[in-house]
Amino acid sequence: MSRAPILRRIASDVPRDEIAFALDGRACTGLEGDTVLAAILVQGERLRESDFSSAPRAGFCLMGACQDCWVQLESGERLRACTTMLVPGMQVVTGMRR
């Protein structure tokens, strides 16, 4: 199974600040303007695993309609990764080993 990130950043002329966050306890970096989903999918090949099996999930609609991208913060708050902007210090928990 490939562990290559599912998303790859393209070159941009617009400078964006880095945003530090944690993904399942691992220190990661996203970019200003990233959604949580984008920040996670440039880290690896899946967002989370299915609630019903170990099938990989990566979001589907990317616009807040399908409910496929729920993740949790360490505080217990659940959020849709595709409609939530990444903020510094966010502690995202998916339950996966990364």
Among 19, 28, 69, 92, binds ligand FES (CB under 6 A): 69
DSSP conformation letters of 25-45: TEEEEEETT-BHHHHHHTTSS
Tokens of 45: 């090949």
Distance CA 8, CA 11 (A): 10
- Per-residue x/- mask for ligand FES, residues 26 to 65, rule CB under 6 A? ---------------------------------xxxx-xx
The answer to whether residue 88 forms part of the interface with ligand FES (CB under 6 A) is: no
Among 36, 38, 82, 90, binds ligand FES (CB under 6 A): 82
Q: Summarize as ranges the residues that interact with ligand FES (CB under 6 A).
A: 59-62, 64-69, 80, 82
